[in-house]
Chains A and B, each alone.
Chain A
Amino acid sequence: MLREDLRNVAIIAHVDHGKTTLVDAMLKQSHTFRDNQPVEERVMDSNDLERERGITILAKNTSVHYKGVKINIVDTPGHADFSGEVERVMMMVNGVLVLVDAAEGPMPQTRFVVQKALEMGHRLIIVVNKIDRPDARLSEVQDEILELLLELDASDDQLMSPVVWCSGRDGTATLDPTQPGKDLCPLFDTILSHILPMEADTEGPAQLLCSSIDYNDYVGRIGIGRIERGSVRQGQSVVVANYNDVHLKNPGKIVNLYQIEGLERVPCEEAKAGDIVCFSGLEKINIGDTVCVPDCVEPKKFVKITEPTVEMTFSVNDSPFAGKEGKWVTTRHLRDRLFRELLKDVSLRVEETGSADSYRVCGRGEMHLSILIESMRREGYEFQVSTPKVMYKDIDGVRYEPMERLIIDVPDESTGAVFQSMGNRKGELLHMSAVGSRTRLEFIIPARGLFGYKSEFLTSTKGEGVMNSVFFEYQPYKGEISRRTTGSLVAFETGEAVTYGLFNAQGRGALFIGAGTPVYEGMVIGESPKSEDINVNVCKTKHLTNTRSSASDEALRLITPKKMSLEECLEFIADDELLEITPKNIRIRKRILDSELRAKARAKEKKQA
């Protein structure tokens, strides 16, 4: 049976290319909101971390009705580190809108995600967005898209994909860039004409593939997925199976069944093949499981998710200030939270380590893990993390490491600096071309070589450079890469930092803290230009005598401390340092707090080396 009344569409794009804004406009124009209903700027980005960073982290579902056809729209994550989400979404849809910024053109994430869509044989609609930008390069971007499709061996049908020129912000679309659009109807019409209706067998035994998971305190775990065959009813008894695990056969019952209307989940009695539904009542349902009828258990094949490449150790906070600011501080809290994250995030992996207080957390990149850290921090968790490391592999006795494809877009004058850095970080140039007054470079570089490069890159390109990377493959180990050449200023007394103490310390390097900050022994309070660590006493007050009064302290001028963000701290910490994360503060500390023990450990290390 041909589901003429339904289209399932995903929107794929690079970070900040306007994906969620376009979905907002589509929702508004299909009258999902009453005219007088106030609509927040970015409807689909529900959590504030996403709004602040302006990126989509979780793929969300919504739907609109146009000319009697229901169009399910699935918004996909824009950042390469969340591509585990994207691969799953591909299973729920029959076509994709490939969104490309009219000025920036296709970037790494677009390449990675389009490759996944092409591999699955989906039909594409190219949406060139932000055509209202003054620096829009319409014809060049169209050529670049064609070049990308050619490079990714798109089929002839996919090469002939229609192009729609849009402005998500103004809510207009047109098929001819020279004719300004009035509304998004050309886009809706192209979806109906180009994305084929799904061929669905609504009579056969039910088969529902779970592609996403959500959690709700009232109904518990909610599975989200498309019905591949047959139909599903509320209260129906089912069996949960998995293609990769033949022994998994959990009987259960679908307690609640919902369909998506606009942004709400609307309860429904029955849904049939092709529909994207949410269902609850199956506590053990997981991503990749298939819900079948008891008399015909036939799990569906699930797309292979690329593995994590970066790991960090999360452990219970044991610094002198532990337990003062966090709500959840124990190892059980930390463990529950990390394992609960696994349910929603397929690209994450959490393993127990030898110690009961620490866990090995693996993700798809620094950004992926830093967003997990930030989310936990805002929820009131207190813990500490180690410096990010890459995950090596041993293949036939040879050590392999993850490589990333890095695309850099810089002004001409910064090309030399980028080349220099890439040389030091073992980057290999693949491609270089002039794009107007800027240069685009493409490198293959070890993931390890990218640690801490983002801030160096922005400094060397005076903030004008754009860099994006995506996992490429595993290659033999490329040798030593020198990471951090500077040392740390370490406080060797617990107390409160005072102006007098800081004044003496700032002569040794850049400070991270100001006067009045509580410090403890072993806490890193600054960066020293030399490669050795320097112990400083920032709690030292001026020795008051009858001639040296306390009032003359005001004469001391302190340089403004360098405030470090979470990402900068992660880039900064060395192997012998940890990052203490609390809801109120982020502090860098030495693994060994006591300065004498630390000196002994370093001496022993030098002897062994």
Chain B
Amino acid sequence: MENHTLTVENCKRVTATSVISVDSFSDRQLVLGIQDGRIVVQGSGMKIVNFSKSTGAFSAAGEITSVRYLKKGSAIRQKLFG
């Protein structure tokens, strides 16, 4: 994960770099694609503020409760529901 950074401010705003894609999005969960896998951000009232595929910059706002990194190949369903 070269130069990938992720910051969460006061559990209200998440900002990340080197994001390749936004795989799915709802007001309770965001799934972002990065080079080596995925990031799952969960919370409530989630709203994507900015994303640019060319620069890889991403930011979203809402009540953030968890951020989870998933390696490539690990099934999301298994990780989410144990």
Contacts and interface: CB of A to CB of B under 8 A. Distances in A.
B24 interface: yes
A416 B21 contact: no
Nearest to B47: A412
Contact of B48 (A423, A428, A439): A439
Interface residues of B, number: 14
Interface in B23-50: 24-27, 47-50
Contacts of B27: 416
Interface in A381-440: 412, 415-416, 419, 423, 428-434, 439
A150 to B, nearest CB: 13
A416 B48 CA distance: 10
Contacts of A434: 47-50
A419 B25 contact: yes
Contact of B21 (A412, A415, A429): A429
Contacts of A430: 52-54
Nearest to B53: A430
A415 B22 CA distance: 13
Nearest to A429: B22
Nearest to A151: B54
Contacts of B22: 419, 429, 432
A432 B26 contact: no
A428 B23 CA distance: 9
B24 A432 contact: no
Contacts of A439: 47-48
A415 B54 CA distance: 21
How many chain A residues sit at the interface, stated as a range, is: 10 to 19
A521 B43 CA distance: 56
Contacts of A419: 22, 24-25
A460 to B, nearest CB: 14
Interface string A434-454: 100001000000000000000
A432 B54 contact: no
Contacts of B53: 428-431
A410 to B, nearest CB: 12
Contacts of B26: 416
Contacts of A431: 51-54
Interface string B48-82: 11111110000000000000000000000000000
Chain A CB within 10 A, most for which of B22, B27, B51, B54: B51
A408 to B, nearest CB: 13
A423 B53 CA distance: 16
B25 A416 contact: yes
Given A416-B26, A416-B27, A432 B50 contact: yes
A432 B47 contact: no
A431 B54 CA distance: 8
Contacts of A428: 21, 53
The residue in B22, B24, B53, B54 that gathers the most chain A C-beta atoms within 10 A of its C-beta is B53
Contacts of A433: 49-52
A416 B26 CA distance: 6
A434 B52 CA distance: 12
B54 to A, nearest CB: 7
A412 B48 CA distance: 9
B28 to A, nearest CB: 10
B11 to A, nearest CB: 19
Contacts of B51: 429, 431-433
Contacts of B21: 428-429
Given A429-B21, A432-B22, A415 B48 contact: yes
Contacts of A432: 22, 48, 50-52
A253 B21 CA distance: 61
A429 B51 CA distance: 9
4 smallest beta-carbon distances between A and B, as pairs: A432-B51, A430-B53, A433-B50, A434-B49
Interface of B: 21-22, 24-27, 47-54
Given A415-B47, A428-B53, 11 more contacts: A416-B25, A423-B24, A429-B22, A432-B50, A432-B51, A432-B52, A433-B51, A434-B47, A434-B49, A439-B47, A439-B48
